[in-house]
Chain A
């Protein structure tokens, strides 16, 4: 591992002062569940590592007038067990609880979940984020079982974020702070499908720290359903988060977001629109699932993921509406 400077700031101001304007200078360390392996593999070789776990203001879950504030260093386990979260944001609690590794649930943070790098095996073996060789995508011609079915390239990795789909369905924002100031952006805009090797898959700038997540209060029914083969220590093959505003017995509006199917969480807007005005039944949930995967462009080995995404939407909707299949 390349030698690096380790800093342990006690305040956010101090921490942002330690970051630099370009990637490769400094990396932010929270749970370390991703950064340490990236560094061991020499995929990221920061000159400085800035630990933000000692910064008190980055922790805690609290109810605000507008909804819920979740500090960036809240662990996935804290999130899954929080009464506030479980009280009205079930999709989020489901997503956090679905992480089937106690180690990652206890060390991994919500900020880290959003900022983690893709698990694409070409990327992790040093073939680059877009995995291009001789002008061709290694993913398209190669082993793409776990890759994207949406987006159409040139990035074919899937966003590894567990919380991203739920946060987008719940219309949450993230707060990003640099030494120059702060900005709030919708989580939907936080995820970016890179067009070239030098673009990151998130909108965070190298001099910024993701400090908190703001989830608006809403009388929604929500749920997340993950399709995962193994009971423990496994990534989802596909997932869906749904948030529904009911208008009496029918759906007023619905947001359906897919996970692990595209370089970003995949907002299946059309499926949500289709569901408006309908009651949720096994049939409408199934039809919404079909609508959600319309336009999917599976690769040579991952057509099965279209079925998984469809199923995840159906099951998430039925769970949110508490309809028994």
Chain B
């Protein structure tokens, strides 16, 4: 092909499959239990592996005696992960692992391993930064303008303390894999967000060529940013398999260890001061923030969130951030890293500022959009208005203290979000067979977001076929390489690569068919199951008849890639969203109930509105869980995580969610930007909106998420230090 083909999306009004809302293709398999997750894989001769973990938050391993465990009948292998001399920095660290013919034997064997520790001093709590002492380290200071003078001159100054705790990912399918290392080859069924790169990373640890490692994953039971690498358990599982004569080994973390070490969202705390005019215009910002993401510190929310465009930021600001190192499990990316924290801290402080000024926070947010990136200002204005309309803000929002005389107070609160997106590197192969069948191969993974469905829609749209005509393969490293599903980049990557591969394959088909239709290839189009001459629909061949022209012996097989070059506007990045929580707070129990939750969200061109809405529902459910229930309890004296379970690590149930109203912002001006990912953006603003709604309802700020009875009543009864 001499010229670059036209890969651009068909115009909105001409689309037949894209923009429609077919149900997710893997829905029935998942709902019926037929879907086999990696933790469901039970190959012949499977062994079970269990970890022994360290009970201390900080310790040095003095000795590990596995003798008794090795002698237990049914034990096939013991592997020491942390030999004598290892310094352990958090509870739950893997010390040794056992493979056995049953899970029970493996657990008994683990209990028989004798480990001697030298217990060392630990720090596991960071809420009080002063108590962190030397473990708290300065981690950045920004000064702009003259904040001290600006606060002096400001007509309204508000000050507040806010905090959002460490929470865990709490994936329902815990981290791990079923793995077999036999001779020079490794077969592995991991629970991973990155099928393509798993082999390369595991191979380095095992000194096995990546080419010898076969990776397969059909379904994943939750990742949320915590499952990008093979982790230690990939290597440990493989070594146990090898030591067991090459029998396959299932090593998935138990819930307790999952909660302790397999990922968490960093905390963030801040004292924030805002100054501004009587009209609500912010002129000064000062924040002293701190956070922990575990031993390495981590967690630095971008403040002030969104209202910080480099060309026209809030004119006077002072930002001081401190990183606290704790002896707790390490953080991992949690659905929009740093953004949930930043949104909570910023939106809470702005709501308090509005209340201090006696203004409607909706107006204050809108007024201060002048500090948001120019390209997004109009979008946010529209979204604030839309969210206000859908939540009936005008009628339902009342100033603080005017929310009912009885014990149950109603309140409304706002939050907003921004996210990038873009598309990750992706390759797709489209094969057209002479019998008319169509194969689409792409080494990606479906995190439950609907990736299978949208790839199939893009291929069907491009080839002018129904979705049922497309046979899709994903979830294997035998397929064309894709990338990690993270940062909301998957839909951009796979939709662009699939579009290009399908356009390329179609061009080849047009070449084969053109003579029979008495036209040139560039006069042809694929639509409604036909290849036909544009403008002369009578000159056509059915898809099956057209594919016969490929020739019985031949196939058309073409690839397409999404790379970092701009793929003709197929995809883009930069989304915005505005959310409103409508809550009731029982002031006699501190219990917060969600009445209604409104989310307005853009994500460019939407391939499947139903799945997009579903993504937003999922994000809001997860977000409400974080806003009302989730927190990690660390015990200062013992260094233990006390709620490493699903009993006191509380998650929302369906009865706790309330009504969710989702408005996908589908407008031509958004559509023309191309496809943008949606995994993360709708999960950002929920703690912000719920916290603000609670403050609005009861008239005082509840500083710390989650909005639990203790936090709410402590605020109402004046027990906050």
Contact = CB atoms under 8 A, between A and B. Distances in A.
Interface of A: 1, 42, 119, 121-122, 125, 127, 133, 136, 138, 141-143, 145-146, 227, 229-235, 237, 301-304, 307-308, 311, 314, 325
B717 A121 contact: no
Given A1-B108, A138-B637, A227 B642 contact: no
Contact of A122 (B642, B654, B714): B642
28 contacts: A1-B104, A1-B108, A121-B633, A121-B642, A122-B635, A125-B642, A138-B637, A138-B638, A142-B635, A143-B633, A143-B634, A145-B710, A227-B589, A229-B628, A229-B708, A231-B653, A231-B655, A232-B653, A232-B654, A232-B656, A233-B653, A235-B647, A302-B710, A303-B713, A303-B717, A304-B710, A307-B588, A307-B590
Interface residues of B, number: 36
A304 B713 contact: yes
B248 to A, nearest CB: 24
B589 A143 contact: no
Contacts of B591: 227, 229
A308 to B, nearest CB: 6
Contacts of B713: 303-304, 307-308
A145 B631 CA distance: 12
Interface of B: 104, 107-108, 111, 406-407, 588-591, 628-629, 633-638, 640, 642-643, 647-648, 650, 652-656, 708-710, 713-714, 717, 719
**Interface residues of chain A: helix, strand, loop or mixed (majority):** loop
Contacts of A1: 104, 107-108
A301 to B, nearest CB: 7
A158 to B, nearest CB: 13
Nearest to B717: A307
Interface centre among B407, B634, B653, B710 (most CB of A within 10 A): B710
Nearest to A41: B256
Contacts, number: 86
B635 A303 contact: no
A231 B655 CA distance: 6
Contacts of A232: 653-656
Given A142-B635, A304-B590, A230 B653 contact: yes
Contacts of A235: 647
Contacts of B638: 127, 133, 138, 142
A29 B455 CA distance: 53
Given A145-B710, A229-B629, A230-B650, A303 B719 contact: yes
Nearest to B642: A121
B642 A301 contact: no
A142 B104 contact: no
Contacts of A314: 588
A229 B709 contact: yes
Contacts of A122: 635, 642
Nearest to B625: A230
Minimum-distance CB pairs A-B, first 10: A231-B655, A304-B713, A232-B653, A121-B642, A311-B588, A304-B710, A143-B633, A142-B635, A227-B589, A307-B713
Contact of B656 (A146, A231, A303): A231
Given A141-B637, A145-B710, A232-B653, A119 B647 contact: yes
Contacts of B643: 121
A233 B628 CA distance: 15
A230 B648 CA distance: 11
Contacts of B642: 121-122, 125, 143
Nearest to A311: B588
